[in-house]
Structure 1
Amino acid sequence: MSFPRQLARTRRFTTGVPRAFQISPDGARVAFLRGRDGVDTATCLWVHDAERGTDAVLADPHTLGADDENLPPEERARRERLRESGGGIVSYSVDEAFTRAVFTLSGRLFYVDLVGDDTDPRELPATTPVVDPRVSPRGDHVAYVSGGALRVIDIAGAEDDHGDRVLAQDDDEHVTWGLADFVAAEEMDRIRGFWWAPDGSAVLATRVDESAVLRWYVDDPASPEQEPTALRYPAAGTDNPAVRLAVLPVASSAAHRKEGPPAPVWVEWDHEALPYLPTAGWTTGPDGNPTIVFTGQSRDQRTLTLFSADPATGLVAEVRTDTDDVWVEIMPGVPAHTSGGALVWIARDTEGGTRRVYADGRAVSPADVYVRGVVDVDGDRILYSGSPAGRPGDVSLWLVDLGTGLSAPVELPGHGRSQPTDAVAHSGLRSGRLRGDTMVVQHRSMEFTGVRTLVLRNASTETRREVTEIAGLAEAPDLPDPRVTTWRAGAREIPCALVLPSWYQEGGRPLPVLMAPYGGPHAQRVLNARGAYLSAQWFAEQGFAVLIADGRGTPGVGVEWEQSVHLDLAAPVLEDQVDALRDAAERFDCLDTSRVGIHGWSFGGYLAALAVLRRPDVFHAAVAGAPVIDWRLYDTHYTERYLGTPEGEPEAYGRSSLLEDAGKLERPLMMIHGLSDDNVVFAHTQRMSSALLAAGKPHTVLPLSGVTHSPSDPVVAENLLLLQVRFLKDGLKGE
């Protein structure tokens, strides 16, 4: 089987990799999702016994009648925001005691007991289609969304009567309860719209009114009998949805029948000043009672305020406000609270400007660590992720114990080495979960292929630590191990990686260069893990020297580095690609800089098109996949963070748009775009193609019928790679 086909059918070798971990309070068991093998996309729910080191299937979609072709539109949209291309059980929730899990299949609601002898999954007679079900902390109710209404159902009940009832709904078709709006899910990483109170007495929920948001239509001309899909898309400078918060008490089904749906307790703040809702949830206050915590963000994203609220009255109090002259980054995992009540937060150090983890205002992370997020808070322990100083390609984990004073990187077994070097012990990419002093750590590295998933019991006590492993079932790539050299290029020390063919010998004929950047905010490509270079290695095997550069705007280096693209998403990122190429050419004599191609997807597609339009002296052919062409067509929260509004900063939009550059095209350009893309809509490529045609510039457009932002069909994905290679080779033949 060809590597492109294998890459596609294994979902980029993620199928069979354990994920979505939940840990029991005592740390003895770990629930997770995984297929039965490396090509089984119907994901199962499993549980790992950390004492015995064994795994068992709890729920298998093959036996429950899953039909991923019959998903409700809300679930399809949710999966698109998550870039979830698999099927089966793609998410689940567990109760506080880890006794019960709930999930949905094909819009139907199921639960499974995690303890006892009878652990067969059971279906609940919920109103279909069911979207995003969440079990209550006590395990007795399930809240879910159906038809834009937030509902709750009892797990115990008669065969056909489990008290399925409405908590909140509106007759207005533009209003939904309990779902994340587009920009929250796409740009703020808030994929949820409701949260159970810790005692299960109420649900905190969003009410989203999209009536003022632009209505756009995503069409697939290959199916003319189908109506276009209508969506509410908040383009830069236009109206966002109105998002409100309310507390909805959960009464018994009998009381609900008698008294009707509960009256919401509204949680109000200054929506005019802080219209965005990045985070929401609950904590337990000093008095032991549930307390609401949420954040509000200004439209210009220079102010982020943390609030607390009384769930009984909705009364709101400001806890802290962070400001920045450019923008305040929404950091993963915060706000959070320790069992002792300490507020865990991430903010910039007023002295050095770096981001640090704070517990009640005291910094608990070193000043030289690039903090990426808080992973978990377990009692008085804080697990956070970051990159060591000067090593943006490594992502490590640090454990802080406020009780004992421990603050150290999480060390892992040496993967067969009795005494691993520091570089091996702390290199690569680590992600994890922590509960009950049990830590699940996933490790990706240049030292081995794939992902290792380790379960560390007594994680905070090195001398008593016990280690088991959850098996990864992903296929091994049918490809030589990546031949990668990494370095920091030029005066700005741009993180770079050069990938050469396995067969290339020093002193051989110089190779055409293929630059393969993402190059934009919130994504890195130069990482110390083999899996980051599989596609690059395949392109290299076709006869290219593949160069990857993470220029200004990308994460991993520092706050100022990220904010260097403010008011200009074009010039800094393109300049860094050019500088990286020049530096590489000086270091390596195997690069033929008279033949330089560039390809990328999404922001990388934008950068590829930008490169051949504005620097044809450097770049000789480009493939732009799903490119953003005109930033006025992209969403509010992302675009306005970097460029402001079109009305307020018209010059910034002019500098960053590619439409005015159409007449400059001198090099071969292929644009690939899914006709069903609801993130970067096809209008970007269509308008660019029209501008190029008007300027008399030949170009290639490859429209993908029925494809969203990321192609998932194996045949389509395979052929896309093959067509790109053919196009680039033709474009780089030279004079």
Structure 2
Amino acid sequence: MTTEPESFPRRHARTQRFSLGAPRAFSVAPDGSRVVFLRSSSGTDRANKLWVLDLPEGSERVAAEPGALLRGSSEELSAEERARRERSREGGAGIVGYATDAAVELASFALSGRLFVAELRAGTARGLDVPGPVIDPRPSPDGRYVAYVARGALRVVEAEGGGDRALTEEGTENVTHGLAEFIAAEEMGRSRGFWWSPESDRLLVARVDDTPVRRWWISDPAQPERDPQRVPYPAAGTANAEVRLFVTDLAGTRTEVAWDRARYPYLAHVHWSGAGAPLLLVQARDQRSQLFLAVDPDTGATRMVHADEDPHWLDLFPGVPSWSPSGRLVRVADEGGARVLAVGERPLTGPQLHVRAVLDVSDDDVLVSASAGERAAEPEIGQVHVYRVNELGVERVSEEPGVHSAVRSGAVTVLVSAVPDRAGSQVRVLREGKQVATVATCAENPGMSPRVQFTQGGARRVPCALLMPRDYDGVTPLPVLMDPYGGPHGPRVLAAHNAHLTSQWFADQGFAVVVADGRGTPGRSPAWEKAIDGDFTLSLDDQVDALRDLARSHPLDLSQVAIRGWSFGGWLAALAVLRRPDVFHAGIAGAPVTDWRLYDTHYTERYLGDPAANPEAYAGSSLVTDGGLSSPAPPHRPLMIVHGTADDNVVFAHALRLSSALLAAGRPHEVLPLSGVTHMTPQEQVAENLLLLQVDFLKRSLGLE
């Protein structure tokens, strides 16, 4: 008896895109004695365990195992925890996040709404008896306490389990303490709402009041017996949550932090270290101005450290702002046409690098991730590297062409590297630049390698990845599938193996697959990203230009061109078949933003402005206005709209409004509702069959059956 091998769609779904079993979320002890991380036991196991890698031995051990801690019972997640995981696109289970004290000796985490701590030296874990459900527990830097959120209140408990108490009043339907509001978690990269002082005697605590935010209802039509969920959603042009910040001591005495919240309502980043006063980054609603503020924790008064302005918008970057150990401001800024690292008032990088994030700041240097700038000697398409930067110059830490990231403390660096010709990611532990250990992966090998060519297309040199079937003869013209995201925050042309697995599977169905990162996508230059200011449709122009240019040098059949995408990519796919039917002959729009007035404030207003002041920008980028449907004239191209009914990010109303507008305009289309599915589509059967249904639609629509 033989067993048929599992199909790629099945394995892709079962392994959550081959991510399960891969180590992640690294912390390095300052004394260099251990590395802490999360990893599940296999490539199909969703439940992460907390692990410790002891150095210099290089031996691994489990510090906390969910099954043992829960004694075999299944996890139960609160609505707040499910929302947090949706915001972070977390599809795992078990221990999905943790925090440590300053010495990385004590870790805390929530599991099934309960609070647990793990002694990392001893490798023992235990639960603490506290009110729940617990959200985002974090030890104090000295390891004596753990602060956490329960029932909308910030609470603190001794690490040994005694003295549990509330530092704020309990939350209400509209007010929470110590949690990030929707817009911060979804768009600003700020997933937390409280921060310990370096002395472990006080905390900065965010108070969020979403009373002003308009309420929407999200329901599951397939479950009519269930009540719809009432959620606050700050759509473009409407009110945001009110966010205030308080210095709170361990007795619960609070002092409000004062800044011009009317002018700068967005609390984008908070940093509190021993190198200086608490540091805030606050932004104006239009995101064209921002202030770096130092806080007096005794009085709550603030003073301006630095101010930025930009005629387009100011981006936010991981790891900054922060203080250097010498007390200088570390930031990333757009200056002189380049994205640079600045320490104090001095830029330490130039146009050769496009800085993406600050990874660590030490006495000697700043560790950053960056891609090649537009003035670099070579384009290095899709590559992201790790660099050491100081006043003496720039040194690249990562070597192989690929996508690299790092976590560092003291002399130890954990370097995570994904490259085109090796599946998954390799994790190496370096001490003063020399490898001393590796962290094993349990992720499944996909069993296939993408046949990808990195190139550039069009007059603007759009970065592209071109994938052909693995059995392709190199001569026969192939139908084309454009497979972009194509918008802000979502680069798809990456020099990494697993990034192109799905595209390769589509190629193996008989397509030439083109992935193009046009204007608006990150990683090239500030001007490239900000070219879409007020007009998202430039993204479509770049897809067309790249396609036509590649067809001059590759056997692409331009009479059979389809496009697929999700989220922004879904909007782009629908836009392509509606506005350029001369180029695109079929499209699949997954969870598309069809009317930008229905998307959130911080994201949409950054690019399109206030809808009341700039209605033409919203109309020009809309799929449901007359301009999006009545022009150009037929031919009408096949369009499949796919959307999860439980999506609370790009709500299902987007798909329904587009379908209604298409019906009113007499345009044929298909709608595939995913019952109970969110923006992530984590369900195995949904993820598997969605790939198969897309191929079926493409072949039917292009007459390839």
Same structural fold, with TM-score higher than 0.5 when normalized by the shorter chain: yes
Closer, same or farther: CA 69–98 of 1 in aligned 2, 3 Å: closer
- State the shift of 1:577 in Å: 0.6
Unaligned runs of 5+ in 2: 1-5
User: Is the CA contact (8 Å cut-off) linking 1:663 and 1:692 kept in structure 2?
Assistant: no
Question: CA 1:285–1:42 in 2, change beyond 3 Å: closer, same or farther?
Answer: closer
The equivalent of 1:230 in structure 2 is 230
The amino acid of 2:60's aligned partner reads D
Q: Which runs of 5+ in 1 are unaligned?
A: 252-261, 412-424, 460-464
Amino acid corresponding to residue 630 of structure 1 in structure 2? D
Matched, 1:645 2:610: yes
Query: Which residue of structure 2 lines up, in the alignment, with residue 177 of structure 1?
Result: 177
Distance 1:709 1:67 in 2: 28
Contact (CA 8 Å) 2:271, 2:321: kept in 1 or not? Answer: no
Among the aligned pairs, what percent are the same residue? 51
Aligned partner letter, 1:105: L
CA contact 2:369–2:385 (8 Å) conserved in 1: yes
* SS in structure 2 at match of 1:495: strand
Hey, what does 2:87 align to over in structure 1?
Answer: 81
Q: Which residue of 1 aligns with 2:7?
A: 2
The CA deviation at 1:449 is 1.6
Q: Deviations over 1:27-55 (max 9, x none)?
A: 22100000011111100000112311111
Residue 476 (structure 1) aligns with = 445
Say which SS state the counterpart of residue 167 (structure 2) adopts. Answer: strand
**Equivalent of 1:618 in 583, 588, 600:** 583
1:259 alignment partner in structure 2: none
CA distance in 2: counterparts of 1:697 and 1:226, whole angstroms: 34
Query: Which residue identity is paired with 1:399?
Result: R
User: CA–CA distance in 2 between the matches of 1:631 and 1:455?
Assistant: 44
TM-score (norm 2): 0.96
Kept after mapping to 2: 8 A contact 1:574/1:607 = yes
2:67 is aligned, of 62, 68, 71, to: 62
Q: Are the counterparts in 1 of residues 197 and 203 from structure 2 also a CA contact under 8 Å?
A: yes
CA distance in 2, matches of 1:728, 1:567: 32
Q: Assess, with a 3 A threshold, how the Cα gap between structure 1 residues 170 and 114 changes in structure 2: closer, same or farther.
A: closer
For the pair 1:678 / 2:645, whether they are aligned, the reply is: no
Partner of 2:115: 109
Q: Take 1:367 and 1:696, find their aligned partners in 2: how far apart are those partners?
A: 50
8 Å CA contact 2:171–2:177 kept in 1: the answer is no
Alignment-derived partner of residue 409 in structure 2: 435
Judge conservation of contact 1:67–1:106 (CA < 8 Å) in 2: no
Q: Which amino acid aligns with 1:387?
A: S
The runs of at least 4 aligned residues of structure 1 exceeding 4 Å deviation read 66-69
Output the amino acid matched with 1:533. Answer: H
Q: Which amino acid aligns with 2:571?
A: Y
How far is 1:723 from its partner?
A: 0.2
Does structure 1 residue 577 correspond to structure 2 residue 551? no
Cα drift, residue 406 of structure 1: 6.0
Residue deviations 1:587-628 (CA, integer Å, cap 9, x gap): 10x211100010000000000000000001110000000000
Query: Are 1:136 and 2:140 an aligned pair?
Result: yes
Map of 2:564 onto structure 1: 599
User: Which of 376, 388, 401 does residue 399 from structure 1 map onto?
Assistant: 388
Q: Which amino acid aligns with 2:138?
A: R
Does 2:317 correspond to 1:331?
A: yes
How far apart are residue 392 of structure 1 and its match? Answer: 4.3
Cα 1:67/1:719, change in 2 over 3 Å: farther
Secondary structure in structure 1 of the residue aligned to 2:42: coil
Counterpart for residue 152 of structure 2: 148
- State the alpha-carbon separation in 2 of the partners of residues 650 and 563 from structure 1: 19
Say whether the 8 Å CA contact 2:365–2:390 is kept in structure 1: yes
Post-superposition shift, 1:184?
A: 0.5
Note the alpha carbon deviations across 1:294-333, whole angstroms, 9 max, x for none: 0110011000110001111111100000000111111221
Alignment correspondent of 1:30: 35
Match of 1:409 among 396, 405, 409: 396
The one-letter amino acid of 1:143's match is A
- What is the number of equivalent residue pairs in this alignment? 689
Q: Distance in 1 between matches of 2:74 and 2:438?
A: 30
SS at match of 1:671: strand
CA apart distance, 1:98:
1.7
Code of the residue aligned with 1:687 in structure 2: it is R
Shift of 1:541: 0.7
Q: Distance in 2 between matches of 1:338 and 1:317?
A: 18
Q: In the alignment, which residue of structure 2 is the partner of 1:255?
A: none
Determine the C-alpha separation between the residues in 2 that align with 1:13 and 1:366.
Answer: 37
Match of 1:487 in 2: 455
CA distance in structure 2 between the aligned counterparts of 1:673 and 1:560, rounded to whole angstroms = 33
- Is the CA contact 1:303–1:324 (under 8 Å) kept in the aligned structure 2? yes
Task: Give the Cα–Cα distance (whole angstroms) in 2 for the partners of residues 401 and 579 of structure 1.
Answer: 40
2:356 is aligned with 1:386: no
SS of residue in 2 equivalent to 1:283: coil
Are the equivalent residues in 2 in contact too, given 1:36–1:473 (CA < 8 A)? Answer: yes
Q: How does 1:245-644 map to 2 (within 5 A)?
A: 245-251=245-251, 262-285=252-275, 291-349=277-335, 352-388=336-372, 389=376, 390-401=379-390, 405=392, 407-411=394-398, 425-459=399-433, 465-479=434-448, 481-508=449-476, 510-570=477-537, 572-588=538-554, 590-644=555-609
Q: Which AA in structure 2 matches 1:593?
A: L
Deviation at 1:170, TM superposition (A): 5.1
Matching residue of 1:90: 96
User: Residue 124 of structure 2: which of 113, 120, 124 is its match?
Assistant: 120
Distance 1:12 1:202 in 2: 42
Q: Distance in 2 between matches of 1:574 and 1:523?
A: 15
Contact 1:488 1:496 in 2 (8 A): yes
CA apart distance, 1:357: 0.6
Provide the rounded CA distance (Å) in 2 between the counterparts of 1:108 and 1:307: 36
What is the Cα deviation at residue 225 of structure 1? 1.5
Relative distance call for 1:232 and 1:90 in structure 2 (3 A) is: same
Preserved contact between residue 392 and residue 556 of structure 1 (Cα < 8 Å): no
Mapped pair 1:41 → 2:10: no
Deviation at 1:532, TM superposition (A): 1.2
Q: Deviations over 1:64-118 (max 9, x none)?
A: 22766520111111110100001000000111112211111110110111124xx
Amino acid at match of 1:605: G
The 5 Å alignment of 1:655-734 reads 655-660=620-625, 661-663=628-630, 666-733=636-703
Residues 35 and 54 in structure 2, CA contact (< 8 A), matched pair in contact too: yes
- Superposed displacement of residue 426, structure 1: 4.0
* One-letter code aligned to 1:134: R
Any idea what SS the aligned residue of 1:491 has? coil
Q: Which amino acid aligns with 1:340?
A: S
CA distance in 2, matches of 1:607, 1:600: 7
User: For the Cα contact (< 8 Å) 1:338–1:380, is it kept in 2?
Assistant: no
* 2-structure distance, mates of 1:473, 1:734: 39
> Residue 217 of structure 2 aligns to which amino acid in structure 1?
Y
* Cα distance between partner residues in 1 of 2:283 and 2:74: 36
Q: Aligned partner of 2:502: which letter?
A: S
Say if 1:340 and 1:380, in contact at 8 Å, map to a contact too.
Answer: no
Displacement of 1:712 in angstroms is 0.8
Q: 2:552 is paired with a residue of what secondary structure? A: helix
Indicate conservation of the 8 Å contact 1:378/1:437, yes or no. no
Instruction: Tell me, yes or no, if the aligned pair for 2:154 and 2:177 is still in contact at 8 Å.
Output: yes
Q: Structure 1, residues 461-516: CA drift from partner, whole Å, max 9, x if none?
A: xxxx343100111101033x1111111112101001110001111223x1110000
Corresponding residue number in structure 1 for 2:24: 19
Partners of 1:68 and 1:648 in 2: how far apart?
51
Contact 1:448 1:530 (8 Å CA) reproduced: yes
Alpha-carbon spacing, 1:63–1:48, altered in 2? closer, same or farther (3 Å): same
| 1:140 Cα deviation after fit | 1.2
TM-score normalized with structure 1 length: 0.92
Cα deviation code 1:400-450 (max 9, x no counterpart)? 356xx4630104xxxxxxxxxxxxx34100011010111001000013121
> What is the alpha-carbon distance in structure 2 between the residues aligned to residue 277 and residue 474 of structure 1?
37
Offset, 1:379: 3.8
CA offset at residue 663 of structure 1?
Answer: 4.5
Counterpart residue identity of residue 429, structure 1? V
CA RMSD of aligned residues (A): 1.5
Cα 1:36–1:378 shift into 2, 3 Å: farther
For the residue of structure 1 that corresponds to 2:423, the secondary structure is: coil
